[in-house]
Amino acid sequence: MNRLKNKTCFLFDLDGTIYLSEHLIPGATDLLAEIRRQGKHFAFMTNNSSSAKQQYLEKMKRLGIEVTAKEILTSTDATLRYLKMQNMKKIVLLATPEVEKEFQEEGFTIIKERGKEADCVVLTFDLTLTYDKIWTAYDYLVKGLPYIASHPDYLCPLKEGFKPDVGSFISMFQTACHREPLIIGKPNHYMVEEAMERFHVKKEDMVIVGDRLYTDIRTGLRSGVTAIAVLSGETTEDMLENTEDVPDYVFPSVKEIFDIMKK
């Protein structure tokens, strides 16, 4: 366990790891306070692209956790960074109004009608999804426009059950137009690279903590970062017995990580 105590940057998933809906996972605030006390870094690395960064800041404050914008890294951040690198400025965007505003503030033109000129289709966790949005995106996808999705999660964990996430939307479009998107968020490397730049750390200094094997844990395995699975969200012990995404450590929740860090 000394291997964990020597790490200097902890990247936490949110849904199912730090909280479930509006309920903190026991031990979360204690662990974050201990990391700060030791002079180390932490950040929240979430695939959930349904909320703008300011909404995350407000939610964390509401839950009693003080964080800065630098300490919140979303799949939206990584998607914006990728689109800028590719010089894609006119996008067909499926997103909540709050996230759409983030794209507009970063200089992107949002195409909402069929038959217009666009650079790509961008799929995020749109809780305001309508049939017209689906139809518009489909119309551009069948014409071969580049296709990007913020993340691949099929379900978003809640305190009681789950709700369909972007991965479910991806499956719908795959059925309709036989297209698969480029995934920007976890488990791909873009968010890890962003965290390395923000905190000036190396991969061997980092730990990823999450409840989902095919995103959080796979990110660590692909990127060469120590990966911890917690059983407070989606992953169960049965899933651990039947996965190729084997974490370095498994704990019931973040409380057990706190118990290790404080020793």
pLDDT confidence of 9, banded at 50, 70, 90? very high
User: For residue 144, is it left (φ>0), alpha (ψ between -120 and 50) or beta?
Assistant: left
How are beta strands 162-164 and 155-157 bridged, if at all?
A: antiparallel
pLDDT at 259: 95
Cα→Cα distances 191→13, 52, 128, 132, 219, Å: 12, 16, 25, 31, 9
List the single range of 155-164, 177-186, 218-227, 251-260 with lowest mean pLDDT. 155-164
Q: What is the dihedral of CA 250, 251, 252, 255, to 10 degrees?
A: -160
**From CA 156, how far away is CA 143, in angstroms rounded?**
30
- The answer to the question of whether 211 is labelled as a binding residue is yes
Instruction: Indicate the DSSP class of residue 23.
Output: E
Q: Which domains does the chain have, with CATH numbers?
A: 1-46+189-262 (3.40.50.1000), 76-183 (3.40.50.1000)
pLDDT at 158: 85
Tokens of 138: 């489909």
pLDDT at 2: 73
Q: Which residues pair with 197 in a beta bridge?
A: none
pLDDT at 90: 98
Q: Which residues pair with 109 in a beta bridge?
A: 90
Share of the chain above pLDDT 90, in %: 94
Active site residues: 13, 15
Query: Which pTM does this prediction carry?
Result: 0.86
User: How big is the chain by its Cα radius of gyration, in Å?
Assistant: 18
**From CA 74, how far away is CA 17, in angstroms rounded?**
15
Task: Report yes or no: 12 and 253 within 8 Å, Cβ to Cβ.
Answer: no
- The answer to the question of whether 15 is labelled as a binding residue is yes
Q: Please name the amino acid found at residue 90.
A: K
Task: Report yes or no: 176 and 135 within 8 Å, Cβ to Cβ.
Answer: no
Tell me the mean pLDDT in the region 21-49: 96
Q: Which residue has the higher pLDDT, 38 or 2?
A: 38
pLDDT at 157: 84
Task: Report yes or no: 209 and 257 within 8 Å, Cβ to Cβ.
Answer: yes
- The answer to the question of whether 13 is labelled as a binding residue is yes
* Percent helix / strand / coil, the chain, rounded to 5: 40, 20, 40
SS3 of 176, please?
Answer: helix
> Any residues with CB less than 8 A from the CB of 246 and at least 6 apart, and which?
217, 221, 240
- The answer to the question of whether 7 is labelled as a binding residue is no
Helix and strand numbers (H, E) in the chain are: 11, 15
Q: What angle do CA 163, 171, 184 make, to 5 degrees?
A: 85
pLDDT at 22: 92
Instruction: Indicate the DSSP class of residue 158.
Output: -
Tell me the mean pLDDT in the region 116-142: 98
Encode pLDDT of 140-181 as tens digits: 999 999 999 999 999 998 888 899 999 999 999 999 999 999
Q: What are phi and psi of 87, to 5 degrees?
A: 60, 40
pLDDT at 115: 94
Which residue is associated with the tokens 């914008």?
69
**From CA 10, how far away is CA 8, in angstroms rounded?**
7
